[in-house]
Structure 1
C-alpha cells in the first residue's frame, strides 16, 4: 500500500511538471520592420495648360463683358487648333473690386477685376508651345501653369514597387548581419504607390511667349512606391 501511494505521488508530480512545461509559451522569433523606397520613370503623353484672361474696368458690367469676349476668342482659337470642346474646361472664375485707402483709412473703390481661367488638355505634346502662343495671341494674358501627365503608369508603378522591395531587403539583410542574425522569412508586407508626379511649369510664361515662340520639353515623370515589410529573423 505504501509503495502504491509513493508511485501515485510520483506520477502526479511528473504530470504536473509536464503540464507546466506545456503551459509556457514558446518565444516568438524577433521581427524586423523595414521600409523600402523605389521610383521609376514614365513618359508623359498629355499636358494640361491653365490659361487665364484678366480684365479690369471702372465699370463692373464693362469688366465682365470684356472678359467674356476675350475668353470666347481664346476658346475659338483653341478649337481652330483642333482641340475638342471636352478638353476645354473652366477651372476658376473670380470677380472682385479693387480698393484703396485714403489718409483717413476710408476705402475707395477703384475698379473691378474679372479673372477667367480655362484648362486646356493637349494630347499632342508637340503642339503645347503653339497652344500657349495661340492663347496669348487671342485674348489670354495669363498662363498660370503647364503640367505634363501620363494616361497609363502601370508599368512604371510595377518597376517602382520592385525597386522598393529590393531596397527593403537590402536594408533588412544589412541590419540583421549587424546584430549577428539573418532573415529567415517574412511576416507581413504593405505598400503604397503614388501616381506619376506631374511636372508643373510655372513662372511668367506669358511674358516669355510675347518675345518668341514657346519651346517646350516634356521630360519624364516620376512614379514612387513605398513598401513596409516585417522580416522574421533567425540566429
Structure 2
C-alpha cells in the first residue's frame, strides 16, 4: 500500500513539474527575439576639431622689486610698495579675488665684479591680476606702473568658463563632422555603408592661448599703454567607432 502510494505521488510530482516548466516556457520571452543584430563590421576613426573665440578674460602679471643691504630692509620696501600698488588697483575697481600673489622672493645677490664680495639683497613680489574686461588691460597696466609696480611680466588672454564651454562644444561638433566625413570615405572605399555610431569618446582637449602679448607704451607724452588681444582656440580630439555593413 505504501509503495503504490509513493509511486502515485511521484507521478503526480513529475506531471506538476512538467506543467510548471511548460508555463514558464510559454509565458517567457526569448532573449534573442528583441536583441539588436550587431553590425557585420566596424570602422574606427580619430578626428580633430577646433573652434576659436575672442577672449573675454585677461591675466596680467606685474612685479614690485626692491633692493637693499639686508633682507629686512628689502622686506620693508616691498611691503610699502605693495601697499601703494594694491590700494591703487582696488581704487580702480579690482576686487580682492582678482589679485593674487604668484611669487614672493627675497634673495642674496653678489656682484662678481667686486673682489670684496659685496653683498646686497633683492626682493620681488609678483601679482597675477584677473581682468574681466579685455579692453581695460592697458589701463590696468598704467595704474600698476604708476603705483610702484616695476615690471609687467606677461599678459595672457583667455575665456570665462561659460564661453569656454560654448567654444568647446563647437570644437566637438567640428570634430564629429570630420569623423563622419573620414568614416564615409573609408566605408565607400571598402564597399561598405555606415549603420550608426557604436561608441564615441574624447581623447584630448587643449586650449591654445594665442593671445599672449607684451605691452607697448607710447614714448610721446603720457599716452596710454596699448595691448592687442589675440584669439583663443580650443582643440579637441575624438575617437568614434561606426557600425558598417556590406553596401546594398
Please say if 1:75 is aligned against 2:83: no
Please say if 1:149 is aligned against 2:158: yes
- The within-5 A match list for 1:36-51 is 36-51=47-62
1:196 Cα deviation from its structure 2 partner: 4.8
Please say if 1:138 is aligned against 2:138: no
The residue matched to 1:217 in structure 2 has which SS?
A: coil
Please say if 1:56 is aligned against 2:64: no
Counterparts in 2 of 1:178 and 1:51: CA distance versus 1, 3 Å: same
Tell me the equivalent position of 2:101: 90
1:216 Cα deviation from its structure 2 partner: 2.1
Higher-Rg member (1/2) = 2
What is the distance in 1 between the residues matched to 2:224 and 2:207?
A: 28
Tell me the equivalent position of 2:123: 114
The residue matched to 1:228 in structure 2 has which SS?
A: strand
Provide, for residues 71-126 of structure 1, a one-character-per-residue CA deviation record: whole Å limited to 9, x for no partner: 211111111212122211111111211235589xx994632111101111122222
What is the distance in 2 between the residues matched to 1:30 and 1:74?
A: 66
Determine which of 206, 217, 221 is the counterpart of 1:209. Answer: 217
Number of residue pairs matched by the alignment: 205
What is the distance in 1 between the residues matched to 2:92 and 2:181?
A: 52
The residue matched to 1:157 in structure 2 has which SS?
A: helix
TM-score (norm 1): 0.76
Counterparts in 2 of 1:114 and 1:89: CA distance versus 1, 3 Å: same
TM-score (norm 2): 0.72
What is the distance in 1 between the residues matched to 2:71 and 2:230?
A: 43
Gaps of 5+ in 1: 1-26
- Asked whether the 8 Å contact 1:97–1:109 carries over to 2, the reply is no
Counterparts in 2 of 1:108 and 1:140: CA distance versus 1, 3 Å: same
- Asked whether the 8 Å contact 1:100–1:107 carries over to 2, the reply is no
Gaps of 5+ in 2: 1-37
- Asked whether the 8 Å contact 1:192–1:227 carries over to 2, the reply is yes
